[in-house]
Amino acid sequence: MLIKKISLGILSIFLCARLFAGEGDTTKINFFTKYDLQQWKGTWNHKKFDYLDPSKNYKKAFLVIELGCASYGCCVWDYNFHALIGKPLEDYDTLKFGKLDSVTWNSKLTVLDSLWVTRKSSNIEVARLITPYGTYMRAGSNGFTNNWTHPYIFDVTDYIPLFKDSFGLVIQSGGYDGKKGFNLTSNLILIEGKPDAMPKQVQKAYGRSFTFQNETQIDTLIKPYRFKLDANERQAKFRVIVTGHGAQGEFSPVEFYVKLNGNQIFTKRLWREDCDETHLQPQGGTWIFSRCNWCPGEKVIDLDIDLTPYLKTNDSNEIWISFRNMETTSATIQANYSVSGNIIIFEKKPDKDIALIDVIAPSKDKTYFLHNPLCQGPIVKIRNEGTKSVKEAYIDYWVDGNNKTTHIWKGNLMPEKSEIIQLPAFPWMNVDYTSPIFFANLQKTIDNLVTWNDSIQSKFDIPVVFPSQKLKFDIKTTNDNKDNTLKIFDELNQEVMSKVYKGDNKTYSDTITLPDGCYRMELIDYDDRIECGDGLNFWWSTQQLSKSTGSFTIRNAINNAVLKTFNADFGAKINFQFTLNNVKLGEYTPKSNYEYRTFKFPDTIKSEIVTANNNFYWDLSPNPSSNGHLKIETKGNGQEILGVKIFNLNGQMVFQKATKNLSMIEELNLGHLPKGIYILRVNINGREDEKKWIYR
């Protein structure tokens, strides 16, 4: 699998955090750079338009939003932040919008440039976040400075049909806080290539806010949406974003459901109980409290609902969102629900396709602050991109040029669903400390027959190295009679220390001597009165619950020197990993082992797969080759080699040939290439596949 490095030089946040697989060039479209959002003016549209060559194909798309303080200071409150793709309305603008464009308006011909911001458009929401409480950012306290920024990365591949010709990025964010706000940098990252399945069209079903009093009343406001598939379309999904606002709407759970053609196909309780574990902390407001499907400073989680089993392919379909009664004891209800729902339609998706979509740790990505830096088992995320449920995945992972380890995941992942996987520990030997890179790859298996979306990389930081094996943990508890739990785990996630501290407003010291290695420390907090963790210091708890302030420090037990002091305003937990005795990651004797395992197709299954793929099977020889000569041969009647491409491991194409004399055998002389490892990709009967080729 080719690795297309789209970091280094495109976008510092996105590029130094993740690297994705790809076969073609990467296009970056910049819409805003350090742009001040005039939030005191209320919610309105900030628009920038551009033009994209419609002849190009893209296999992946990411919208990267970076927020910082506006030039006149940060808002201290949390506000909705909507990112929408704007398509010019018909008869208002020309269809071919380039660097210079013209439009007739009021009988006058006007020439426009590519950043015209006032054009009318139909807007489709593709991403949503909630801005953080900016008190500390504004004041430059609690670790924040005036140069504070935070990234938000959204996978918007489903919306690639919108990225054709003229389109714009539309930002909606408002809220009064004097003349304060956030600044915005936004880039659309597009990776060229043509995958096995790509959305054919996007239809906007919902895109507004609905006032809520009860389930009967809101049903009179939310109307069903009707859509019909074209003749060659067979599959669809519903991508929906719902958040609750207003006094009760924000702080009360509610259940919503989706019906398609009269059948209830999905239901979910809208509630986020993990706001006290946000990766942007601490914040100045009530950031730790649970809310209706959102947390301050976090991306809003969108939901993908598979519609395919319930679709009518030869008639119109009707989709409908509705709500149950709110879970509240309040006599009055002030609530509204902001609802965005889009129908994503496909011709045909593959049956079995698992995608490796994210590296949570190890990573430089600030959106995974609580998990990094890491020296134990990595954490990755997979998604089922096929139409059938999958039960097994072979995940290879390694660091820099070292040996691979394989984890065999087993479960039952339904279409359009994702899962976060904690991989077992492995030896981090021979790490490149100057610029370490973590690699992960999915093997081709019965449940994963599509390979273009199987590889991912991430740059990462080396965990803290303490100078001593003997550590002292000093904790000053609060006065609220609740427990704090301190635990330490070794490389294999085995518990080596556990201590419970009562909330008695006292200071405790515990000393432990540990052998060289990697360790993870957790300090956990929870207050059942507010149903979340409020750390050892939280302004609201001090004011409303009369709590005292605690502290937590790690010291060198030999000379009592302070090694690490933690911010006491940490919500639910501190998650911290480190190594000891001036021995860095990969320099100690590991407890874990490398264990590489290759998936082997049973002969009967392999035969069925070959038959299903129209005998799509080929071979290359010799491999390895000592003189650069290579023969490609198909293994099936009627198969013809239409083209050959060869890439080096940096993703650069070093050879290309379109075969004119169609045959089942192609012989190449590649002696001019430097000796090394290459990826050879062939096109046989219009289908592409690849193999590794070694020239030595």
Domains along the chain with CATH numbers: 1-195 (2.60.120.1570), 354-462 (2.60.40.10), 465-579 (2.60.40), 614-695 (2.60.40.1220)
Instruction: Please tell me the predicted confidence (pLDDT) of residue 479.
Output: 93
81: its two tokens: 């932040």
- When pLDDT is cut at 50, 70 and 90, the band that residue 681 belongs to is confident
Q: How many helices (H) and strands (E) does the chain have?
A: 6, 43
Q: Does the structure show a pLDDT above 70 at 20?
A: no
* CA 470/CA 497 separation, integer angstroms: 13
Instruction: Please tell me the predicted confidence (pLDDT) of residue 342.
Output: 97
DSSP assignments along 44-76, one per residue: -EEEEEEEE-TT--EEEEEEEEEEEE-TT---S
On the CB side of 633, how many CA atoms lie within 13 Å of its CA?
A: 8
Specify the range with the lowest mean pLDDT, choosing from 80-84, 85-89, 183-187, 197-201. 85-89
* CA 128/CA 31 separation, integer angstroms: 17
Q: Does the structure show a pLDDT above 70 at 19?
A: no
Specify the range with the lowest mean pLDDT, choosing from 83-92, 576-585, 668-677. 83-92
- When pLDDT is cut at 50, 70 and 90, the band that residue 91 belongs to is low
Which carries the bigger pLDDT value, residue 164 or residue 30? 30
**Residue 266: DSSP 8-state:** E
Q: Does the structure show a pLDDT above 70 at 119?
A: no
Specify the range with the lowest mean pLDDT, choosing from 9-23, 359-373, 624-638. 9-23
Q: Residue 65: CB partners within 8 Å, gap ≥ 6?
A: 81, 83, 127, 129, 151, 152, 153, 154, 184, 185, 186
Instruction: Please tell me the predicted confidence (pLDDT) of residue 107.
Output: 54
* Segment 266-284 mean pLDDT: 94
**Strands of the 687-695 sheet, one edge to the other:** 653-658, 641-648, 676-684, 687-695
* Segment 71-97 mean pLDDT: 77
- When pLDDT is cut at 50, 70 and 90, the band that residue 617 belongs to is low
* CA 188/CA 157 separation, integer angstroms: 11
pLDDT in tens, 183-238: 999 999 999 887 778 899 999 999 999 999 999 999 999 999 999 998 888 899 99
Q: Among 530, 566, 568, which Cα is nearest to 288's?
A: 530
Q: Residue 325: CB partners within 8 Å, gap ≥ 6?
A: 214, 215, 254
**What count of residues does the chain have?**
696
pLDDT in tens, 364-403: 999 999 999 999 999 999 999 998 889 999 999 999 878 9
Instruction: Please tell me the predicted confidence (pLDDT) of residue 131.
Output: 95
* CA 485/CA 495 separation, integer angstroms: 13
262, 312 contact by CB (below 8 A): no
369: its two tokens: 């602050």
* Segment 459-480 mean pLDDT: 96
Which carries the bigger pLDDT value, residue 417 or residue 10? 417
Q: How many CB atoms lie within 10 A of CB 589?
A: 9
Q: How many CB atoms lie within 10 A of CB 497?
A: 16
* Segment 465-492 mean pLDDT: 95
Q: Does the structure show a pLDDT above 60 at 440?
A: yes
- When pLDDT is cut at 50, 70 and 90, the band that residue 115 belongs to is very low
Instruction: Please tell me the predicted confidence (pLDDT) of residue 517.
Output: 95
* Segment 497-525 mean pLDDT: 95
**Average pLDDT, whole number, for the chain?**
86
Supply φ then ψ for residue 456, to 5 degrees.
-155, 155
Instruction: Please tell me the predicted confidence (pLDDT) of residue 650.
Output: 61
3-class secondary structure, 138 = helix
Q: Among 266, 263, 267, 265, which Cα is nearest to 254's?
A: 267
44: its two tokens: 């309105």
pLDDT in tens, 341-354: 999 999 888 889 99
* Segment 587-596 mean pLDDT: 93
* Segment 298-319 mean pLDDT: 91
Instruction: Please tell me the predicted confidence (pLDDT) of residue 98.
Output: 42
The letter for the amino acid at 162 is: L
- When pLDDT is cut at 50, 70 and 90, the band that residue 638 belongs to is low
Q: Does the structure show a pLDDT above 80 at 687?
A: no
Which carries the bigger pLDDT value, residue 612 or residue 354? 354
- When pLDDT is cut at 50, 70 and 90, the band that residue 683 belongs to is confident
Instruction: Please tell me the predicted confidence (pLDDT) of residue 667.
Output: 86
**Strands of the 165-173 sheet, one edge to the other:** 45-52, 165-173, 80-88, 121-130
Instruction: Please tell me the predicted confidence (pLDDT) of residue 649.
Output: 63
* CA 610/CA 603 separation, integer angstroms: 10
172, 82 contact by CB (below 8 A): yes
For the chain, the straight-line distance linking the first and the last C-alpha, in angstroms and rounded, comes to 20
pLDDT in tens, 315-329: 899 999 999 999 999
242: its two tokens: 């719902």
Give, in order, the Cα–Cα distances in Å from 92 to each of 50, 88, 119, 247, 335.
16, 7, 8, 40, 36
- When pLDDT is cut at 50, 70 and 90, the band that residue 690 belongs to is confident
70, 177 contact by CB (below 8 A): no
Percent residues over pLDDT 70 in the chain: 88
The letter for the amino acid at 205 is: A
**Residue 310: DSSP 8-state:** G
Q: Does the structure show a pLDDT above 70 at 105?
A: no
* CA 245/CA 292 separation, integer angstroms: 8
Instruction: Please tell me the predicted confidence (pLDDT) of residue 17.
Output: 46
DSSP assignments along 93-128, one per residue: S-SS--SEEEEEETTEEEEEETT-----EEEEEEEE
Instruction: Please tell me the predicted confidence (pLDDT) of residue 13.
Output: 43
Instruction: Please tell me the predicted confidence (pLDDT) of residue 284.
Output: 92
